[in-house]
Structure 1
Amino acid sequence: MKRLWINVVPYSKDIAIAALESGAEAVVLPDGDSGKVRQFGKIKTIEKDGDIKPGVDVEFIDIAGKEDEDKAAAVPAEKIVVLRMLDWTIIPIENLLARRGRNIMVQVENSGQAKLMVEILEKGVDGVVLKTGNVNEIKKTAEIIQGVSEKIALVTATITIAKQLGMGDRACLDTCTQMVPGEGMLIGNTASGFFLVHSESIDNPYVASRPFRVNAGAVHAYTLSPGGKTKYLADLKAGDEVMIVDYQGRSQTAYLGRNKIEKRPMMLVEAEAEGQPIGLVLQNAETIRLVGPDGKAISVTTLKPGDKVLGHIEKAGRHFGMKVDETLIER
């Protein structure tokens, strides 16, 4: 997820409030002004006594030539670099993306520049610091930054097994986002294969729809999260980031409001995609659905060998949720 910081130097109450209301991650402030912003809401502050400290956690570097580019490239990789382009040329930014790779942000003056920065070289920088006195530009830039998402490669998987199991603990993920038909989360028994499990956004005669919910599966399963990480369903809690994916592979970050774990009758679904197995233990109920290649929901209770559903496969193994290149067997 791309980052949005707002530069509020000199301090402006209206700009600080707009930053907070637009969902910015942080505000850059004059030293000692963190308390002024925190009276309006919770947001990270960037100043000498703030949550993010210049010179410690982040370096602001003016870029006017090759020497400045080299200075930015030499900053430790774990520290964020904010580039302030004095003549607004693109080449130094492209060079630093190639040399440094991550933790690069660029100060911009409007939403147009912000859009260019998050799309540069396809990958884009990690975020922007917007310096403007225009509240509307903050809102426009926030819409652009929040609209940038990971594109997830989905594959068509062929069902091989759909069988009834006994009772088990399943996790129901209630998010702070209303999903629509064709959207859900990627869930799997292993970190190498995931099904796109449909949200409860479809009405039926027996229970009202819950568009904010994904009845995800058994507690041992993984969900694919923002940034390519995985998390156990059992570990998810209120406030955690989760990733919503639609049938075209478009993703967005959402926040968990509740993880309901309850005993329910379970079933095992297995499939194969591009020679790789995908499996998941889900609740055995007609309201639990996977997603077909056309984006339509398919109830797990109707699945049979040969049916086609959407999934996602990974090649690398996982260690504490992070991808690692190692030999790993999961069955």
Structure 2
Amino acid sequence: MIELTKNKLAALKRLSDENGVIGALAIDQRGSLKKMIAAGSASHVGDEGIIRFKELVSEELTPFSTAILLDPEYGLPAAKVRSRDAGLLVAYEKTGYDATAVGRLPDLLPEWSVKRLKEAGADAVKFLLYYDADEDKKINDYKHVYMERVGSECVAEDIPFFLEIVSYDAENDNVKSKSYAKVKPHKVIEAMREFSKPQYNVDVLKVEVPVDMNFVEGYTEGETAYSKEEAAAYFKEQSEATELPFIFLSAGVSAELFQETLKFAKESGSTFNGVLCGRATWKDGVAPFATDGEQAGRTWLQDTGKKNIEELNGVLKESASSWFDKVK
């Protein structure tokens, strides 16, 4: 059980449904979203297109979400048009990482602080950390200290700290490979163990599922890296590796596979507390927006986008556990 201040507890409730489940929408992508829009358009390239698409997603989909995650660089206009019932998470990290440098080191947005994000209306602050539990000690110590700083800032402002961990293998760049699928459970679970320690002051972990579902027996027609029983055991081990509330990220898989994954997590004994789901919900709406204009994008969101979220909410109702059980 973790102890939350009165303000943090109230903020987490604003980000959740009445049962203590987080069904949040993530659209804090920056560089990757710009590329997606530019790929289908000559007229929507640049800042205006990305800002407008985020506004459309916020307008059309937050009535069906408990919260939305946005970035302060392009997303604050979208925060203003979200549903009044949807909470607001704001990203604090610079997008991406320097691929030429060793270690995928974290970096903050220099013109923002937790204090300023809170003043801009954030109910919680999110930080994305790339982490390889087996990387050089010097690199990981740097990341540990960095997260202690962010956690301390959030404590000072009395605002929830959501830490998003994306695991990787410093020795293997191909995260879609079978060889990475085999080490992924260890990478994901050890990262969760580390950042559940009290010195980081994390309130909610946003994490990957512990396996690559494309290599789970019964979920793939190709080669497998795990039997169903092995995969289920990893979900259970992940859940037992932390006392913190934790939610799953969709990692860009299809809406269908993500929903199937959540059902599998529940069957495996995972006590996950919701999702912060991004591309699985809205990515196929980028093409009509970029190619055929704003109305085409809006129509897609009103139809398929809404359907994706409502189906996901149905799965969450059956599979997610309440974070109320993890806090006092």
TM-score range, shorter chain: 0.3 to 0.5
TM-score by length of 1: 0.39
Which of the pair has the greater relative contact order for Cα pairs under 8 Å at 6+ separation? 2
